[in-house]
Chains A and B, each alone.
Chain A
């Protein structure tokens, strides 16, 4: 039975996972430079050791509510293609091993229009772990 390793984090109470290999590092919240005229989910640019990296707030992207005032997100730096993107999440979780046979399609009612960014769900003992489509999540439509 094949097993996948997922890096997990939570956003607005949902538990998400991405393949461990995609995650370069997790850092605490960085001050950002906002980008006027950019798509709404693109919340800013951060300086990661001399590299300018785009930060995408998963709350925006998934159509979830705003973070509580004063609560600082974490930066999950993921590699897509040949570029790095920072995903802003509420809290970082453990790396978990999931069995492939626990994988199924995401529940129909989940997350409304953002459901297309969920590739599937793993049933854990105490929670449902949603597998995030990272490529889709960092692809943003231009601001209208």
Chain B
């Protein structure tokens, strides 16, 4: 009896997995109703369940799956076409099977649920097609003939094999392998290899075993200890100078590394194991809400540790539910707003900076910051002063505050639902983070970041103030070594920048950022680790680059959660601990990148896709006259120069200076921007050299103030006056310059000059 219990338990586990797969397959089949591959897989799944239930004497389950199988075989053989009704009934059948299995799991019996009606429907649908055939012909699973396998492996040509087959046809009774060998077409080694492969293919179903996750965990722990012991013994062997010992430890080293990788891989699963269940979920939910939603997925193969995958399942489902329920509008509203009737829900997953990023993006109505702010104020979660200091993004993120989302009225007001604080805290429990962007009318994007706590990542080990830190190489662009008096590093309003191939690279001094500056800052060289996060580049200045190796990411204790600049810790070859830098958090802390992926606003309608990066790049802030403060995209700035006022020459009404053998036209922003007030007279002109459309131009400003990260422009779009918009930077209204417009205004022929190939390219 015990054996039977075990068989049933195994059957239940297996069936649940199969059913999850089935949900996804059926929904996918709706999109692609003729896919033989999908139909074949669905058929096999039901067939497997039916076979086992018959053996275990679960009559109801058998009757149900039998009816389903007959219908599916019609579909598979092309005798019936897939209709919405059939899909619906098949999904109902999956649910019925599930409830029967649940009954078996809890009571050991099938229960009393009556499915005769469903079975009748299944049978009716099956007969609705072409002439009903009594039996079905199930194709036996064929395994590849030996000859084919040999050809696949390049052991013989197809011609050789067909020659051998012909020999068999005319009476040669020897096995095909033997004939091939005697023909001299292949070797006996190839034949035995092919036989092995063939045997393997037959038993592919038996090639998997289930392993308890706890066993994998203890394997992981032991692995960690083995790695350290390996490191120690390798170090000692080298010191002992015994050649045999060194060889043995080199082998140990190699094997341990491979073993480590295998063990880590064992725990990884693609995110699709969670996502595939969402297909059905979205379909059903959409139907309930009267909406049609197209679910798209990118990066389904992105792998995560199993425990983490389990932990993100519920938060993800919740976010998807909210997106369908509240985010995406009803079809008539969408049509009225000029959108496609079908809503789009996009799931993206990708690795970045040693973390897994997941985005849930809808093209729905978006959230109104004003309404969110009003609600938060009304609930007493923030004060009016706090709100005044917040930007739109921070206001939208208030929905994660406990108490905000539990208010029942919020759904109507903000278009976003209940329990966001729970989503946030669940993600934080596993060291993750969540951020939301929304644009009214354009949609909402949730960005989830989860650490890879158990992964191996390639990393660069760097030295800083006597300590060692690991930087994930996924962000690494290049290394730059500067000799001498930190040549090439300039200070722009206190922010150090380095000019790297024509563009200005904002720099972070790691020791200063971490507050561990050496008391003696005398350095004769500096190393810059150039990193890229999203589309922003910046440099991290360190003392030394020590090593590049694969590291095992270890989680940090809860006490270090608030210190956001570390992604984890690792153990180096000598057994000491090194912190892994979270370069994105570090860059955010140092204010060189924005705090997340910007959702492109579609309010600035003339800003096309190519210009979008500009709206979220670092900005150079300068003062013009007494009254105006302007911002220039830093990536357009090539140099900052000062020219003596006397060096300005005139051609007609244009001002020019000679600059590096070229002629640089100057644009006085004071004259261009009306109301800037009189410029303070000075002997020296501060000039921001910008290149645009392959030409350079010098913008004369009064003072360089700062470099800031711009989520700009915030408000207004007064097209045609040389401005892209305005935002508040350091308590002052700052205007983002429209470089092309300004140049055109100052010199209408700038873009007409024959030297410039393509107008508007800039």
Contacts and interface: CB of A to CB of B under 8 A. Distances in A.
Given A36-B515, A49-B228, 8 more contacts: A37-B565, A42-B559, A45-B569, A45-B579, A50-B225, A52-B555, A53-B557, A54-B559
A42 B558 CA distance: 12
Nearest to A50: B224
Q: Is the interface of B mostly helix, strand, loop or mixed?
A: mixed
Interface string B546-578: 000000001111111011011001110001111
Nearest to A41: B559
B556 A52 contact: yes
B221 interface: yes
Contacts of B569: 33, 45, 52
Interface string A45-75: 1110111111010000000000000000000
A4 interface: no
A24 B344 CA distance: 53
A125 B514 CA distance: 48
Interface stretch (A7-15, A99-107, A111-119, A136-144): A136-144
B347 interface: no
A117 to B, nearest CB: 15
Interface string A17-55: 000000000000001111111110010111101111110
Contacts of A38: 559-560, 563
Given A33-B577, A37-B565, A42 B227 contact: no
Given A50-B224, A51-B554, A52-B554, A39 B577 contact: no
A2 to B, nearest CB: 32
Nearest to A56: B559
29 contacts: A33-B467, A33-B468, A33-B569, A33-B576, A33-B579, A34-B467, A35-B579, A36-B515, A37-B515, A37-B563, A44-B577, A45-B569, A46-B577, A47-B228, A49-B224, A50-B224, A50-B227, A50-B571, A51-B554, A52-B554, A52-B556, A52-B570, A52-B571, A54-B557, A54-B559, A85-B557, A140-B559, A142-B563, A143-B563
A35 B571 contact: no
Interface in B422-442: none
Contacts of A46: 577
Nearest to A81: B558
Which of A47, A54, A138 has the largest number of chain B CB atoms within 10 A? A47
B516 interface: yes
Nearest to B225: A50
A109 interface: no
Which of A36, A44, A83, A143 has the largest number of chain B CB atoms within 10 A? A36
Contacts of A142: 562-563
Interface residues of A, number: 28
Given A36-B516, A37-B515, A37-B565, A47 B575 contact: yes
Interface string B84-110: 000000000000000000000000000
A54 B554 CA distance: 12
A33 B559 contact: no
B232 to A, nearest CB: 11
Chain B interface: which size bin? 20 to 34
Contact of B558 (A35, A36, A83): A83
Contacts of A31: 576
B225 A49 contact: yes
Interface string A112-134: 00000000000000000000000
A67 B154 CA distance: 72
A53 to B, nearest CB: 7
Contacts of A32: 577
A140 B560 CA distance: 9
A52 B577 contact: yes
Contacts of B224: 49-51
Q: Which 8 pairs show the lowest CB-CB distances between chains A and B?
A: A50-B224, A36-B514, A142-B562, A54-B557, A33-B577, A52-B554, A45-B577, A52-B569
B571 A47 contact: yes
B227 A33 contact: no
B332 to A, nearest CB: 50
Interface of A: 31-39, 42, 44-47, 49-54, 56, 83, 85, 138-140, 142-143
A83 B467 CA distance: 25
Contacts of A139: 559
A42 B228 contact: no
Interface in B294-321: none
A35 B560 contact: yes
A31 B579 CA distance: 15
A68 to B, nearest CB: 23
Nearest to A143: B563
Contacts of B225: 49-50
A83 B557 contact: yes
B514 A37 contact: yes
A44 B576 CA distance: 11
Interface string B609-644: 000000000000000000000000000000000000
Contacts of A47: 228, 571, 575-577
Contacts of A42: 559-560
Contacts of B565: 37
A54 B560 CA distance: 9
A101 B410 CA distance: 55
Contacts of A52: 554-556, 569-571, 577
B559 A39 contact: yes
B17 to A, nearest CB: 29
Contacts of B575: 47
A85 B556 CA distance: 11
B221 A35 contact: no
Contacts of A45: 569, 577, 579
B563 A35 contact: yes
Contacts of B221: 50-51
Nearest to B228: A50
Contacts of B554: 51-52
Contacts of B563: 35, 37-38, 142-143
Contacts of B555: 52
Nearest to B565: A37
A52 B228 CA distance: 12
Interface in B514-561: 514-516, 554-560
A24 to B, nearest CB: 14
A78 to B, nearest CB: 12
Contacts of A33: 467-468, 569, 576-579
Which of B224, B557, B569 has the largest number of chain A CB atoms within 10 A? B557
Contacts of A138: 559
A139 B557 CA distance: 11
Contacts of A34: 467, 516
B364 to A, nearest CB: 37
A44 B556 CA distance: 11
Contacts of B514: 36-37
Nearest to B570: A52
B433 to A, nearest CB: 16
A31 to B, nearest CB: 7
Contacts of B467: 33-34, 36
A23 B464 CA distance: 35
Contacts of B560: 35, 38, 42, 54
Interface string B572-604: 000111110000000000000000000000000
B290 to A, nearest CB: 45
Nearest to B464: A36
A144 to B, nearest CB: 11
A46 B554 CA distance: 12
Nearest to A32: B577
A73 to B, nearest CB: 17
